Amino acid sequence: MIDDRFVSAVVLSPFALEGFVKVRSLSGETEHLLRLSSAILRGKSGERVYEIEKTRVIEGFSGHILVKFKNIDTPEAAKTLSGSEILLSRAEAAPLDTGEYYIEDLKGLRVVDDGGETLGEVSGILEGGGGQLLEMSLPSGALKLIPFRNEFFGEINLEKNEITLIVTWILE
C-alpha cells in the first residue's frame, strides 16, 4: 500500500538572527515548499506540526530555501530543528513528470528479471556520486547497490508492485 506522507525535505541549519532555517528539498524542486502554510517536522523527539511564517529563495543554491517557522525566533531555537525531516502529503509534494516516481513508491517493490522471476526487493534509494543507487535486498539477506538508470532497469509497474532488472549479471 502506498503511504500518503513521505519525506520531501530536510531542515539543515539556522540562518541569520530571526530564526530562519535552511531547508534542502530532496527532489531539488522548491516551488511546492514555498507554497506551504504549515509542515510536519519529524525529529528525534517525534513529529510535530509547525506553522510557516515566511519562506525565501536562496539565490545561487538550487534546491534550497529559507523557512521561518512560527515561534522559532532565534538561531538557538532554529538549531533545535536541524536534521528534522519535513513530511508532506502527495497533494503537497512536487508534481511528477512522466517517468518520475516518488522514492517511497519504489520501496518494497519486487525486483524481477525479464522472465518475471523474483530476485529481491527494493529497500531504498540512495544518493551516490554519479546519481541515484537502488538498494536491493536479496533473499539471502545481502544488500546490493545498483545504479538506478535505464541501462539496468526496465519497466516500473506500481500496480504489479514490481520493477524489472534487465541486467542480472550486476548481482554477481
> What pLDDT, in 10s, does the model give residues 22-48?
999 988 889 999 999 999 999 988 999
Domain 103-171 in CATH: superfamily?
PRC-barrel domain (2.30.30.240)
Res 116 pLDDT > 70 = yes
Q: Please, which residues bridge with residue 14 across strands?
A: 21
Res 63 pLDDT > 80 = yes
For residue 98, report the phi and psi dihedrals to the nearest 5 degrees: -60, 135
Higher pLDDT, 138 or 59: 138
Pairing of strands 162-165, 110-112: parallel
Mean pLDDT, the chain, integer: 92
Q: Can you tell me the distance from the alpha carbon of 98 to that of 1, in angstroms, rounded to the nearest whole number?
A: 21
Q: Can you tell me the distance from the alpha carbon of 169 to that of 132, in angstroms, rounded to the nearest whole number?
A: 19
Matching residue, cell 531547508: 23
Domain 5-89 part of CATH 3.40.1190.20: no
Mapped onto helix, strand or coil, the DSSP state of residue 79 is: helix
**Model pLDDT, residue 1:** 38
**Model pLDDT, residue 3:** 53
Q: How does pLDDT run across 72-114, given as a tens digit for each residue?
A: 999 999 999 999 999 999 889 888 888 888 888 899 999 999 9
Res 2 pLDDT > 90 = no
Q: Is 124 exposed, middle or buried (0-12, 13-18, 19+ CB in 10 A)?
A: middle
Q: Can you tell me the distance from the alpha carbon of 103 to that of 114, in angstroms, rounded to the nearest whole number?
A: 23
* Per-domain boundaries in the chain: 5-89, 103-171
